[in-house]
């Protein structure tokens, strides 16, 4: 009986050690940034989030590099927090390897009225 248990255990260990390790390495397919468009007043901030998608359409962890195409309008830090600097427009990029996601940022000093404000003020 003891010999049978040892044989079964050895057979299990041998078969387990022969299994192929998963060799598919996730490859970045696309990056989706949310929100994809924002309007800010100078001095205000907004948090961007990036969803990195692999070749199997699955979310994956990755180190994201954030960049503003026009830092004189808005800057962005390593965590995706954008800060409006001056009036204008810029594009925000999230990059992993050679793949980029894009979001638009408009900085305006003009206050936009929200629909609920218009309804409330007219009644």
- Total number of domains in the chain: 1
H/E element holding 120?
helix 115-122
Using the predicted structure, report yes or no on whether residue 61 has a pLDDT greater than 80: yes
CB neighbour class for 74 (10 Å; exposed up to 12, middle 13-18, buried from 19): buried
| CATH code (residue 99) | 2.60.40.1080
Look at the block and give the residue holding tokens 């100078």. Answer: 42
Residue range 85-121, pLDDT digits in tens: 999 999 999 999 999 999 998 998 876 555 555 555 5
In whole angstroms, give the CA distance from residue 121 to residue 118. Answer: 5
Q: Is residue 93 part of a domain?
A: yes
**Domain span holding position 68:** 28-110
User: Of 60, 73, 78, 64, which Cα lies nearest the Cα of 105?
Assistant: 73
Mean pLDDT estimate for the chain:
83
Is 13 domain-assigned?
no
In a domain, 12, yes or no: no
């Amino acid at each position: 009986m003891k010999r049978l248990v040892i044989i079964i255990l050895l057979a299990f260990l041998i078969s387990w050690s022969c299994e192929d390790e998963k060799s598919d390495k996730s490859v970045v397919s696309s990056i989706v940034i949310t929100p994809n468009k924002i309007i800010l007043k100078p001095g205000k901030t907004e948090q961007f989030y990036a969803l990195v998608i692999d070749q199997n359409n699955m979310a994956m962890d990755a180190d994201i590099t954030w960049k503003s195409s026009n830092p004189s309008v808005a800057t962005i830090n390593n965590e995706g927090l954008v800060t409006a600097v001056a009036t204008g427009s810029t594009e925000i990029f999230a990059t992993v390897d050679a793949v980029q996601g894009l979001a638009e940022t408009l900085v305006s000093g003009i206050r936009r009225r929200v629909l609920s404000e218009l309804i409330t003020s007219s009644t």
